[in-house]
Chain A
Amino acid sequence: TMFVNKHSRTFIFKRLPRNYRQFTSSSTEDYDLVVIGGGSGGLACAKAASQLQKKVAVLDFVTPSTQGTTWGLGGTCVNVGCIPKKLMHHASLLGDAIRDSKAYGWNVPDEVQSDWTTLSTAVQNHVKSLNWGHRVQLRDKNVEYINGLGSFKDPHTVRVKESNGTERLLKTRNAVIAVGVRPYVPSQIPGAVEYGATSDDLFWLKKTPGKTLLIGASYIALECGGFLNGLGFDTSIMVRSRPLKQFDQQMAELVAESMESKGTRFLRKCVPVSIEKDSRGRLVVKYEDLTNRQTKEEVFDTVMFATGRHAVTNNLNLEALGIEVDQTTQKVFGGHSDDHERTSVANIYAIGDILHNRPELTPVAIKAGQLLADRLFGGSQVQMDYNMIPTTVFTPLEYGVVGISEEKAVSCHGEENIEAICFGDRILGLHLIGPNAGEVIQGFAVALRCGATWSGLSGSVGIHPTTAEEVVKLHITKRSGADPTVTGC
């Protein structure tokens, strides 16, 4: 069809949807924004848009895990990520504290045991209270919540299929894809899908994990292995090459060493071959030692795969709309028309873990979602800054980091230009392993964002006695080869 603008005599071709209706005003669509995915990013974006007086709906639906686990509103972070993880990490550290307390004069029994049922029930109850809290918040902020699986019919129509089978079509000006990612289980390994648990299941396990094997070298494998070991479970982690490949390697090794010293067994350079169930219901894992090509076998109560997370976008109907995704990860490409989150379709955006090549972190998703709402409806031009995003690996001895790794710094700037970790006076990265590293690094991340330099940092006075003060007291360079162990104050 051809439109002719009578006044300026320009021709505009437009492809019309099948159910074309003559619109008389620009905002006849039912919604200003439909968000597919009720996780960290989706909820933040929806609430921010609603605050700007827009009509918003958020769709959330949890496809059960390979083991049949499902959960409520709030996404990965609330249900099977950050929140239950941190609670269990804390539970495991409390065990250490109880044991340490004896030396400080507390009258505690020699042996203390943790009870998985008590812990997991308390964690699950807390998570459920958060599910409820999110429901209440959406109502308070006037965001419509639909428990259903969303997909695109066309760029301005989202189809939602509710759990009772009813289907609705939502017409909308804009849409945000915030569906996140799910654990990837290598289906080519016999027994993996059938018997292997993932982080989707661990926090909802009714029975105690028992003797556990974690397969993977990611922060998920190490964090879960760390707290399971701390809670008293016989814990092994099977690593194909090196732990925490995405992080600074010297720090990664320190983390792994600290875990080994606490009793976690690392099966390095090993890969799983098959998983079977024995007559007693336990899992028999056959695996190969890549160093000598020997196949070994061991029995575990629980096997958990932490072999990466992947996008599940095949049911969103993205291809039909021309929304481009990365062929390897299936994640959605952003960055179109100078907008970090805009997809290849002008009115559709992606935020959070589903967005290609961005940090998979809750605060990143939240901020990106809020800034997007401001740009869409609040007249803002501010883009998300994906640089210098701090994060922490919550292994028993925590590893907090902001900025780049030493490997990246050397490859970007040349080894002769890097000292300790700064480029001239500019700090490129700050890495800390220690108790409460997460709490410590947060403040320094702000400092770096505000332009803190090496002179500024080393010129600052420390708070004594703390862990954090070590950052401002740094004075031994790696290049010097001197022993960095602190003995006196």
Chain B
Amino acid sequence: AVNINYNIQRHVATAEKKFECFNIQDAKDFQTRVIESPVPVIVDFHATWCGPCKLLGPRLEAIISNKEGQVSLAKVDVDENVEIAMEYLVESLPTVIGFKNGRKINKFIGLQEDDAIDSFVEKLIH
């Protein structure tokens, strides 16, 4: 007798996006979609030449997508939006800043582990 164990994963895709994730185009865009946003917004300051940013991005998206729309994710390419990055004193990349009601609430710098990112997001929401 042979025992065969099948482990089948069924991936279920929902039709609608579970959270808002967008690229900031300019200062006006930042004002409307981050400062004036009714929900808290996590802003991911990144650059095309930044290796750790490429690793952080998907982690942020995965974690925020599980928050059922309680928080949005805005991505700011610092080379395209230098003035915004300068205004918020971004130096090292990646820099992630949490905004709520138009104000800077919390921030972290550099690639972080999932649980650190998760507690950061939770702190912003509550």
Complex contacts, A129 vs chain B, CB 8 Å: 47, 49-50
Chain B facing A: main interface SS: loop
Complex contacts, B86 vs chain A, CB 8 Å: 135, 139
Question: Which residues 219-262 of A have a CB within 8 angstroms of B?
Answer: none
Complex contacts, A125 vs chain B, CB 8 Å: 48-51
Among A124, A129, A136, which residue has the most Cβ atoms of chain B within 10 A? A136
Counting contact residues on chain A (CB < 8 A from B), the size range is 10 to 19
Question: Which residues 131-161 of A have a CB within 8 angstroms of B?
Answer: 132, 135-136, 139-140
Counting contact residues on chain B (CB < 8 A from A), the size range is 10 to 19
A128 in contact with B47 (CB, 8 Å): yes
Question: Which residues 393-407 of A have a CB within 8 angstroms of B?
Answer: none
Q: Is B105 an interface position by the 8 A CB rule?
A: no
Complex contacts, B50 vs chain A, CB 8 Å: 125, 129
A128 in contact with B48 (CB, 8 Å): yes
B79 in contact with A132 (CB, 8 Å): yes
A132 in contact with B48 (CB, 8 Å): no
Complex contacts, B82 vs chain A, CB 8 Å: 135
B91 in contact with A124 (CB, 8 Å): no
| Interface residue from B49, B90, B91 paired with A128 (Cβ < 8 Å) | B49
B51 in contact with A128 (CB, 8 Å): no
In the complex, A126→B93 CA distance in Å?
13
**A125-B48, A125-B49, A132-B47 are known contacts; what are 10 more A-B pairs with Cβ within 8 Å?**
A125-B50, A125-B51, A128-B79, A129-B47, A129-B49, A129-B50, A132-B49, A132-B78, A132-B79, A135-B82
Interface on B for A, CB 8 Å cutoff?
47-51, 78-79, 82, 86, 90-91, 93
Contact sample, A vs B, 23 pairs, CB 8 Å cutoff? A124-B49, A125-B48, A125-B49, A125-B50, A125-B51, A126-B49, A128-B47, A128-B48, A128-B49, A128-B79, A129-B47, A129-B49, A129-B50, A132-B47, A132-B49, A132-B78, A132-B93, A135-B82, A135-B86, A136-B90, A136-B91, A139-B86, A140-B91
In order of increasing CB-CB distance, the 5 nearest A-B pairs are: A125-B49, A128-B49, A136-B91, A129-B49, A139-B86
